């Protein structure tokens, strides 16, 4: 565990099955990158609903993994879906930064 990820709940779910966890991490990484790319592409007001949905999706998988900080950032992004493009760009940058920390942690396992 580090301050970005707490895998306790996930490990209880998987029963400590390392292979299953590895597969889940891969799915988490590809889904997150897809969502982050979509957030980056949808900071303008006319696509705020797509932004909200992507933030919601990333929040869900982050919390399920145990990446609480990332989940919290996405929750904020979901709630602030009608903010300006500048604010959203800053939010995406924060999300990316935290995501990279989560990813590094998962890669080290």
Partner 1 sequence: MLINTVEVNAESELLAFIEEINKAQTLAWSVLLIKKECLKEISNNAFILAVKSKLLDATRAEVFFLDQLVCIAWLGMPAQIRRNLRELITTSLLRENVSENIDEIITYYDPQVMGNELSIAIKARLKNTSAQPIKAAAVETKPHRTLVLESSPKRIENFKRLQSKRTLREKLHILIVEDQAFTRKLLYDVLKNTYEVASAESVERGWQLYLETVPNIVFLDIELTDASGHLLAAKIKEIDPASFVIMVTANNSVEDVQVAKQNKVAGFIAKPFSKQKINEAIEKYKASKGAR
Residues making contact with partner 1 (CB under 8 A): 9-10, 12-14, 17, 20, 23-24, 27-28, 30-31, 33-34, 37-38, 41-42, 47, 49-50, 53-54, 56-57, 59-61, 63-66
From residue 65, alpha-carbon distances to 9, 21, 26, 41, 52 in Å are 8, 10, 12, 25, 20
Q: How far is the CB of 54 from partner 1 (least distance, A)?
A: 8
Please check whether residue 57 is in contact with residue 77, taking contact to mean a CB–CB distance below 8 angstroms.
no
Please check whether residue 67 is in contact with residue 102, taking contact to mean a CB–CB distance below 8 angstroms.
yes
Q: How far apart are CA 79 and CA 77, in angstroms?
A: 5
Q: How far is the CB of 87 from partner 1 (least distance, A)?
A: 19
- Cβ-based nearer residue to partner 1, 33 or 93: 33
Q: How far is the CB of 9 from partner 1 (least distance, A)?
A: 6
Q: How far is the CB of 19 from partner 1 (least distance, A)?
A: 10
């Amino acid at each position: 565990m580090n301050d970005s990820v707490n895998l306790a709940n996930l490990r209880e779910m998987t029963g400590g099955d390392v292979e299953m966890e590895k597969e889940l991490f891969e799915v988490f990484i590809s889904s997150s990158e897809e969502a982050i790319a979509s957030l980056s592409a949808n900071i303008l007001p006319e696509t705020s609903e797509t932004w909200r949905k992507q933030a919601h999706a990333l929040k869900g998988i982050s919390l399920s993994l145990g990446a609480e900080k990332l989940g919290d950032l996405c929750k904020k992004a979901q709630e602030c879906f009608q903010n300006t493009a500048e604010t959203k760009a800053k939010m995406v940058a924060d999300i990316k930064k935290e995501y990279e920390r989560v990813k590094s942690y998962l890669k080290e396992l």
